[in-house]
Structure 1
């Protein structure tokens, strides 16, 4: 038994199912996004209902919606008729999840849901099913076959439903103008939250921890400043305090291989002019992105007056658990 071949076959079947679903997307999806956006704009919420595997997928969809600022709740279909219908309010939108579209527990619940002034969106693999006919909008999540060798266990179908939920959440996010700052409000914990809530000024090395020399200094002077501040780079300043360039330990190591007497050479001829910078009031996540995109280890922080205010090293991110 070739386990890798079998695994790749499963992934291939599910991927093909997703590509087919993508090609079927039509105006119904646009209408669904508009409905959800209007619901949220009017202070309504998104109610997600599913049974079995679809119920599990529903929990994930609701979690994704909530994490992107779209208020969502999960209605347990079994408890709904025993008081949990109180979760629904007039003006809400209801996502109904059932691949077959014939799930009795869900169909039996719909007449009671319709007593509220709500709109129903069905996520189903059977566009002609009873669920679809009872809903205002249908999103087709059908697949040709399950990835299960027996074609029985929900695999491709549950993946398709999950991805459709992700598509709704992400397009809704864009439509509502949801920003990184908004995202940070809902993710204060963990490294992601710290990166989104922390400002560069909170993590930069400033004051005595910021090594600087003037343009007339020697490389040795820059090394001494770096060692004293335990930093991997030194800023070179012009007489008026503005940034002239940067010199790093990496620059020294590369230069030393060519010229062991590099320490006695003027720093102005070896520094990197116009280095990459970031503003002190920027979010730390911007510094993370900038360092990654430019493949550098250190980034210069500028204050409101345009003068260097600090330095951020990639090690600072790890130390402060930003990444």
Structure 2
């Protein structure tokens, strides 16, 4: 082999070697490109998953906002109904206000007509024991003297002892406007009984679930006792109406309930009107937390009417 041929052969080998090197570099570049594409696709997929999660969060947030809005609208409607009910209770009390304040000049306080059905019984001296004093109500009219209807006793609640016992006083010792208010309620009881809407007196054998006014008129939405010590203080409806609140104890006994201590002056005594009938301008809705919330307005079942 000549030198020229040897040179050509060496050049060819060098070119082949360079070609192999370039092919390897190409393969490495292709592998690097594939790797970059895979990384890019992974980033895109991660971004898509993140965007989908954000969209899901946005949908859930929108749904939650809708629930909150609906709940807010429901609460607004409930609040409006509560305000309307309180206004109705207040309006009912305003309609009765003149009647509440009217006193019969012909009958002094000791002869005020008070009984469970308005049959015209007067106050009599009360028999007292170590705990309570109650006033029995004998008949007023001559014809009533021959009746066998049971007499009722009234007792104003003065305070509740630490042992939870009721301490009551004499009905003739409370203020005349309170007596007039009680008489007004009993007149309404008598009227409804005469129309055969209610029996002569509640049929409960023990402590009644409502005061006399709510029992007689069927306005159960106004039968709202205080949140603390219910059936111990005047209900929200009688408070709004500036009306004496009294309730059935069973066995022809009634108890006149004082105002909650939160709404009466600490210096007021049981012989004053302000102990039993509110004289301010607030309503129960403007004094939250004292009385239970209004129940859905409705009529109670009519008791069986006495013949």
TM-score w.r.t. structure 2 length? 0.24
Query: If you compute each CA radius of gyration, which structure gives the higher value, 1 or 2?
Result: 2
Does 1 or 2 have the higher relative contact order (CA < 8 Å, sep 6+)?
2
